[in-house]
């Protein structure tokens, strides 16, 4: 029985290509004392990983060339040399894109299929749901009656942001890239309005119409032209949690130009803050509790786009940048057939 | 005895011109019950006033066309119909650019020449000093050993920002537009380094050299290219109090383009916040107390550029955008000769 892994083969210029990734086979390693062997069930692919493929300073170090790419993984313990886990336990961890991971037990978290489906630990009650929760609640701080705009609204983070904002009593407007997505936002998730930026000739006008009282919170996942348009609609004391800028992840650093926003921020005394989930490491239980509670109460819906088969990990990752997914993009390692 | 006033005659496109202002003579009004008549001694000219000359939404309403321009004024009560003030009292208020103002007594604040020179109530212990204090201390939150960069560093706000940052134990770098200014910053005010942006071919390199440990706080008074360069040097969790963007005040809204900064803000989890002094209305006594204390202890130095003669108000205002002033720009209504 061999392990299969996906290595970072070359650093992409622009969009990752076939040459970016390399599949490799190797013997499965044996866990040492305090470690377990985990068989991958779901692998998470996320836009932030694109940044780690560059050799540049950021909040996480770059992926080393020639080594296995890492990310969120849910799997099953198939061999344990730790008191913390038994064979058959399901666990969540930051592990490699490979069929089998040897992991330190104390870096894994047990997950329970009876509370939520395994995939949810990588989506609504996992990293993306928690990112939505803390960015919106801690930086955005929505108040009832305020207007919240979210870009990348049909994505794993955006779709949860909008629903939490609705729970807080806000007027919620989503921006997404297809009619299927905008329909889902308004008809299924309860967004007050949604704008398909790909078919909207004038985003500024569309935003004015969808946000008659201006924008109090802009939860930004995309950057670029879309953010430029939203910035024109800021109310006084607007708050802008900066979660992502997927529009620029495949661009060379510094090559991205647009309207300068500082004057607008002064005039409106607005606040922009970049954040990552790691900034809230000490508050994760609070976020997990609230998300779990809203989920149980039926206030929070979530969608997952799941590709099946380990071979499809690169394809799933690339689709993030084509915007084909609704909700969280995941790979199920074994096909269901 | 006639009053003389300066009206907003037309809304400027770009830099204000002769046609922007109109001098007018009119009889001096009589104060009513609860009012006083104030003879102007010092008039404040400030960059933010340029914004009020546009007919656009901001944190203060636009100056109405054909009416007297208003701003900070220190003057002497020459007639009182209020219990609050006696003839001869010196007062500070938001009053008109005119020789004589009739003002509601409860909108004026008494000032004391024995504590500080009258002009200081419009500079170091007035609006600009307080703006420096709250922007730096509340948004910037400097810690000892951190690096603070301030643009417009030789101006009324910037020169105080840098000195307060030094008091907090920071490494302080100023950006200004002449060697005279940078010399003043390093030799007189104790800045650790200062960069003359007009003679520096590569601002990014100059900042790298002046800030070997990166930038933790960027107190921004100018926007534009200078801010673009500083943004490339941000450390993780940098804070950027946005006080002004004088480089764009004379530009058409939305015409100002530059590198997009959102990706950098995410990577560094940095925070930008626009603010005005009015946001701190309930904390003004705290700021005044600290500034007064540092001044008394000799820890805070300040400079004023004072033009003499009421006719020179437009000239003083325009010089703000030419960057000729060191420290606070003021007009003394009566020439000393």
Q: Could you report the per-residue pLDDT of A180-220, keeping only the tens digit for each? A: 999 999 999 999 999 999 999 999 999 999 999 999 999 99
Other C-beta atoms closer than 10 Å to the C-beta of B180 total: 12
B252 pLDDT higher than 80: no
B183 pLDDT higher than 70: yes
Q: Which among A257, A260, A276 is the nearest to B269, CB-wise?
A: A276
Q: Which residues of A touch B (CB under 8 A)?
A: 51, 57-59, 220, 223-224, 227, 232, 236, 242-245, 248-249, 253-254, 256-263, 265-276, 279
Check if the beta carbon of residue B233 is closer than 8 Å to that of residue B162: no
Strands (E), chain B: 2-8, 21-27, 35-44, 70-80, 90-96, 100-104, 109-110, 147-151, 171-176, 193-196, 215-219, 234-242, 257-259, 271-274, 304-308, 328-332
d(CA A171, CA A156): 20
Domain ranges (residues) in chain A: 2-123+302-332, 127-279+289-293
> Residue B237's closest chain A neighbor by CA?
A274
pLDDT in tens, A6-48: 999 999 998 998 899 999 999 999 999 999 999 999 999 999 9
Q: How many CB pairs under 8 A join A and B?
A: 119
The pLDDT confidence band at residue B308, using thresholds 50, 70 and 90, is very high
d(CA A227, CA A242): 10
Q: A161 vs A210, B136, B217, CA distance in Å?
A: 17, 32, 30
The pLDDT value recorded for residue B270 is 97
Which of A225, A230, A232, A263 is the best substitution to test chain B (most B C-beta atoms within 10 A)? A263
Burial of B306 from C-beta contacts in 10 A (0-12 / 13-18 / 19+): middle
- Identify the CATH assignment for A2-123+302-332 out of 3.40.50.2300, 1.10.3720.10, 3.40.190.10, 3.90.180.10: 3.90.180.10
The pLDDT value recorded for residue A335 is 83
Q: Which among B57, B266, B274 is the nearest to A266, CB-wise?
A: B274
> Residue A224's closest chain B neighbor by CA?
B260
* CA distance, residue B31 to nearest chain A CA (Å): 35
Q: Which among B259, B270, B272 is the nearest to A265, CB-wise?
A: B272
Cβ contact (<8 Å) for A273 and B275?
no
Check if the beta carbon of residue B173 is closer than 8 Å to that of residue B210: yes
Cβ contact (<8 Å) for B254 and A259?
yes
Cβ contact (<8 Å) for A257 and B259?
yes
**ipTM (interface predicted TM):** 0.89
Tell me which residue of A303, A230, A185, A223 sits closest to A50, measured CA to CA: A223
d(CA B288, CA A126): 48
Cβ contact (<8 Å) for B223 and A262?
yes
Indicate the SS3 state at residue A155: strand
The pLDDT value recorded for residue B255 is 75
Q: Which among A57, A242, A263 is the nearest to B265, CB-wise?
A: A242
Cβ contact (<8 Å) for A260 and B224?
yes
Average pLDDT of chain A is: 95
Burial A231-269 (b: 16+ CB within 10 A, else e): bbbbbeebbbbbbbbbbbbeeeeeebebbbbbbbbbbbb
pLDDT in tens, B288-300: 999 999 999 999 9
d(CA B311, CA A214): 42
Helix axes B127-134, B284-296, angle to 10 degrees: 100
Residue A279: list chain B partners with CB under 8 A: 269
The pLDDT value recorded for residue A60 is 80
Check if the beta carbon of residue B100 is closer than 8 Å to that of residue B3: yes
Residue B275: list chain A partners with CB under 8 A: 266, 269
Calculate mean pLDDT across residues B266-270.
Answer: 94
d(CA B298, CA B314): 33
Q: Which among B58, B258, B279 is the nearest to A267, CB-wise?
A: B58
User: How many CA atoms are closer than 13 Å to the CA of A138, on its beta-carbon side?
Assistant: 19
Distance in Å from the first CA to the final CA of chain B: 22
> Residue A233's closest chain B neighbor by CA?
B57
Residue A219: list chain B partners with CB under 8 A: none
- Identify the CATH assignment for B2-122+303-332 out of 3.90.180.10, 3.40.50.40, 3.30.390.10, 3.40.50.1000: 3.90.180.10
Check if the beta carbon of residue A269 is closer than 8 Å to that of residue A247: no
More confident residue, B186 or A267: B186
d(CA A171, CA B231): 33
Q: B135 vs A266, B52, B125, B158, B273, CA distance in Å?
A: 12, 21, 15, 11, 9
The pLDDT confidence band at residue A246, using thresholds 50, 70 and 90, is confident
Cβ contact (<8 Å) for B274 and A267?
yes
CATH no. of A127-279+289-293: 3.40.50.720
Check if the beta carbon of residue A225 is closer than 8 Å to that of residue A199: no
Q: Which among A232, A261, A269 is the nearest to B59, CB-wise?
A: A269
pLDDT in tens, B24-64: 999 999 999 999 999 999 999 999 999 899 988 777 889 99
Cβ contact (<8 Å) for B267 and A243?
no
Burial A9-45 (b: 16+ CB within 10 A, else e): beebeeebeeebbeeeeeebeebeeebbbbebbbbbb
Cβ contact (<8 Å) for A262 and B271?
no
Tell me which residue of A147, A149, A155 sits closest to A45, measured CA to CA: A155
d(CA B38, CA A276): 55
Indicate the SS3 state at residue B111: coil
Q: Which among A57, A245, A267 is the nearest to B263, CB-wise?
A: A245
């Amino acid at each position: 029985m061999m392990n299969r892994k996906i290595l970072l083969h070359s650093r992409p210029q622009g969009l990752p290509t076939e040459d970016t990734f390399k599949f490799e086979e190797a013997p499965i390693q044996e866990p040492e004392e305090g470690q377990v062997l985990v068989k991958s069930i779901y692998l998470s692919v996320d836009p932030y990983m694109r940044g780690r493929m560059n050799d540049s300073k950021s909040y996480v170090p770059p992926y080393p060339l020639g080594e296995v790419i890492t990310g969120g993984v849910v799997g099953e313990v198939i061999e344990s040399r730790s008191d913390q886990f038994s064979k058959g336990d399901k666990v969540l961890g930051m592990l490699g894109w490979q069929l089998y991971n040897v992991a330190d037990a104390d870096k894994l978290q047990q997950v329970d299929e009876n509370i939520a489906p395994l995939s949810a630990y990588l989506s609504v009650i996992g990293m993306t749901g928690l990112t939505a929760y803390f960015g919106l609640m801690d930086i955005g701080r929505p108040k009832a009656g305020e207007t919240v705009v979210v870009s990348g609204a049909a994505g794993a983070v955006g779709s949860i942001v909008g629903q939490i904002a609705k729970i807080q009593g806000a007027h919620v407007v989503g921006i997404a890239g297809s009619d299927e997505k905008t329909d889902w936002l308004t008809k299924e998730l309860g967004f007050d309005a949604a704008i398909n930026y790909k078919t909207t000739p004038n985003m500024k006008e569309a935003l004015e119409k969808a946000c008659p009282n201006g924008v109090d919170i802009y939860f930004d996942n995309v950057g670029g032209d879309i953010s430029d348009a939203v910035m024109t609609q800021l109310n006084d004391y607007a708050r802008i949690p900066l979660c992502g800028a997927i529009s620029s992840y495949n661009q060379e650093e510094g090559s991205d130009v647009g309207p300068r926003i500082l004057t607008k921020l002064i005039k409106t005394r607005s606040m922009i803050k970049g954040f990552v989930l790691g900034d809230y490491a000490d508050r994760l239980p609070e976020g997990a509790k609230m998300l779990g509670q809203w989920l149980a109460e039926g206030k929070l819906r979530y969608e997952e786009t799941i590709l099946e088969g380990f071979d499809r990990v690169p394809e799933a990752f690339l689709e993030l940048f084509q915007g084909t997914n609704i909700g969280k993009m995941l790979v199920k390692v074994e096909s269901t057939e």
